[in-house]
Amino acid sequence: MKMVSRSCLYLGGIIMFSFVATAISGPLDPNFYDKVCPQALPAIKTVVLEALRQERRMGASLLRLHFHDCFVNGCDGSILLDSTSSFTSEKFSLANNNSARGFEVVDRIKWEVDRVCGRPVVSCADVLAVAARDSVFALGGPYWKVELGRRDSTTASITTADADIPAPFMNLPQLIDNFKKQGLDVKDLVVLSGGHTLGFSQCRAFRTRIYNDTNIDSTFARQLQAICPRVGGDSNLAPLDPTPAHFDTKYFSDLTLRKGLLPSDQALFNGGETDSLVKEYSSDLDDFGEDFTKSMIKMGNIKPLTGNRGQIRSNCRRAN
């Protein structure tokens, strides 16, 4: 199979059109902003690329924000909301607290896209989806057409975040059930876990694996123990694969060598039904890239707010 071409370009324009957001309804559409604000997607790309020039790790962080957003009541930008008197922010959930990052970059994207569009017409949820794609593409991954037209929620749920964002300690049956709850299948689980080809994880998430697990390469474990002591150093970082700022297949090939960083990573190659997919992707970047685009589009379609539901936030951190 062939990976989606990296020669795809963004199309922009200079004509602005009036727009009544609540008049739009129906399924998501890659061309949603073509007439509303053709400058929107190039503006998002510009800010993402500048953020990656400053810190390549930010690409993984922006990808993760989209993932963690979609797994909590759908792709509605809820992860970006700060706490109010009515709810506690999802930023304080077990999966996100002192870990999720990139919120300031999202703020910069939102400011810039609203500036070029003349007013808020692009949702924060769509900003997350496009920024995730632009990050992956900039770091050597595939390009895909992001389906657009999501609207933003006005509330968040830390309870749902704690319950539904997959934990790094889950075994394979737990991971399969977790993804199934979101309408994602076993192939989606393996492919989207491959997003760990980018980024880092904190010591607190892999400590139990490097000191207690048996399905781990002993040399690899000792190397990580130098980074992550038994006590303390919870926020010390280790790369999720050997090339954490480049989209490749090393995440999967490491799993076949028992060098998965998180317990939930190694669970994908531990004698279970996902072993064959891990082997396939470990040696075929084109297959991985093509399937990654399909699963990202599928994940981006989890319970989006469209039509008159939700709003287009002026500030991604709070409801209008």
Say yes or no to pLDDT of 238 above 50: yes
Cβ–Cβ under 8 Å, residues 194 and 288: yes
Concatenated DSSP letters of 170-183? --HHHHHHHHHHTT
Can you say whether the dihedral through the CA atoms of 122, 62, 28, 70 is positive or negative?
A: negative
Give residue 76's pLDDT: 98
Residue, of 117 and 27, whose pLDDT is higher: 117
Q: Which two tokens stand for residue 213?
A: 């697990």
Domain of 211, CATH number, reads 1.10.420.10
Give residue 27's pLDDT: 85
Say yes or no to pLDDT of 20 above 80: no
Give me the mean pLDDT over the 49-76 stretch.
98
Give me the mean pLDDT over the 165-190 stretch.
98
Are 181 and 157 part of one and the same domain?
no
Give residue 23's pLDDT: 34
- Could you tell me which residues are beta bridge partners of residue 187? none
> Rounded to an integer, what distance in angstroms lies between the CA atom of residue 53 and that of residue 5?
23
Give me the mean pLDDT over the 45-74 stretch.
98
Query: If you average pLDDT over every residue of the chain, what do you get?
Result: 93
Whether 262 is in a domain gets the answer yes
Please give the positions annotated as active site.
68
Match 């062939």 to its residue by tokens. 2
Domain of 50, CATH number, reads 1.10.520.10
Whether 308 is in a domain gets the answer no
Are 152 and 131 part of one and the same domain?
yes
Whether 197 is in a domain gets the answer yes
Say yes or no to pLDDT of 24 above 70: no
Encode pLDDT of 196-224 as tens digits: 999 999 999 999 999 999 999 999 999 99
Contacts for 191 with CB less than 8 Å, ≥ 6 apart: 277, 281, 288, 291, 292, 294, 295
Are 201 and 103 part of one and the same domain?
no
Give residue 26's pLDDT: 55
Contacts for 163 with CB less than 8 Å, ≥ 6 apart: none
Give residue 21's pLDDT: 33
How many domains does the structure of the chain reveal? 2
Contacts for 291 with CB less than 8 Å, ≥ 6 apart: 187, 191, 281
Give residue 4's pLDDT: 43
| pTM score, whole prediction | 0.90
Whether 112 is in a domain gets the answer yes
